[in-house]
Amino acid sequence: MVKPSLPARHHRARFALCLLLLLLAACANRSTSIAQQSTRPLPVLLIGLDGFRPDYLQLPEARTLRRLAEQGGRAEAMRPSYPSLTFPNHYTLVTGLHPDRHGIVNNSMRDPALGSFAMHLRTAVADGRWWGGEPVWITARRHGLRTATLFWPGTEADVQGQHPDDWLPYDAGLDSAERVQQVLAWLARPESTRPDFLTLYFEQVDTVGHDQGPDSPALRRAVQAVDTAVAALIEGLDASPWAGRVNLVLVADHGMTAIDESRPILLDDLVDPRSFELVSFGASAGIQPRRGRSAEVGAALLREHAHMRCYRPHGFPPEWQFGTHPRVPAITCQAEPPYIIATRRVLTMPGRKTKRGGHGYDPALPDMQALFVGHGPAFRPGSTVARVDSVDVYALLCRLLGIEPADHQGDARAFDALLSGESAAGR
């Protein structure tokens, strides 16, 4: 065999050395990438099922949700904060603060400086001055993580001057399948832009519960619709590189109970309606006496009534942890189910539909309890706890993300019995 000439052997040796160096550099870069990825948490997806009571899991239509609960951890009940309403409790879930601390004290409220707030007032909803505390998407960003939220109260506002990295304004017309596909698309992004914390929201169970009642066939169909959407999410995750590597936290903001609007507690029958402004109505009523009428309104309302009790801000039951925020009205009247509190004028407003289901009642009542299910590597299969509080969830989310929570009022140990002890770090 003819040997190569010395120059040829020299060039081949140089080529081999260069190739070796390139391979070593590639391996080093890949190792660095893996090391960087391992310092990030597994994705945490918070799924809000508005108005979903924990006993709905036993409905035949909740097959996927029930399976997730059986394969993961669940609470037999999650007690909402007072008032047991949508915006206050969605924000409690992500801040770990009771409404009296974070400032969203009702779905409808007044602020001496900011004016009126209601869920349908888009300008107010997007004004960060209404939203106190530190929501988890800001805590996560403060620790260098990326966030993406699909419809969660507070995400449209510039809280502390910040939004999530990716967020969408609420759009009821975006159907469940499109919502699921958006979350899957976020998770499919390159590592540099892929979110660590995400939210997803479904309102159907709450909407139908109000319109048709919690015991209606329509409610069961709404549960099935949400279950189908969650099944599509799981199918999409299982077909992705994230199969078995996403921690899901499924929560409701409150429960739902049957109400009877044919027998309302009418404030008109108790006090001159010209003597006060009605700030909110329903299971509870927020009442602001007009100037010079405070004693008159107080004398009429702050006495014993059948199926209703009224409070000054300092007089609420201590377990409600409510009444110190300046947005709490001068008088709040709280009904017992199935009663609601209103005036004749609001009940006869054009276009108003009669409701057959409601919430906003005492958070300790069984029908006000909310869903909690955790599923993923961080949760111990088949585990249960008797009860947690919605104010505890923020600390859990921070724990799953491996970040230090901001000041909060929750119990960081409330979910210990559900957790597997497996690290939240990516693998």
Q: Active-site residues: which are they?
A: 86
**Rounded distance between C-alpha atoms, residue 293 and residue 418, angstroms:** 53
- Strands 147-150 and 166-168 turn out to be parallel
Beta bridge partners of 198: 45, 148
SS3 329: coil
Opening angle at CA 195, ends 39 and 42, nearest 5: 45
d(CA 90, CA 88): 6
Is the backbone of residue 161 left (phi > 0), alpha (psi -120 to 50) or beta? left
Contact (Cβ atoms closer than 8 angstroms) between residue 106 and residue 332: no
Residue 350, burial from CB neighbour count under 10 angstroms (0-12, 13-18, 19+): exposed
CB of 101 closer than 8 Å to CB of 409: yes
How many angstroms separate the CA atoms of 236 and 230, rounded?
10
Three-state secondary structure call for residue 335: strand
Rounded-to-integer distance, Cα 169 and Cα 264, Å: 35
What letter represents residue 105's amino acid?
Answer: V
Total count of residues recorded for the chain: 427
Assess contact for 233 and 250: CB atoms under 8 A.
Answer: no
Maximum Cα interatomic distance, the chain, rounded to a whole number of Å: 115
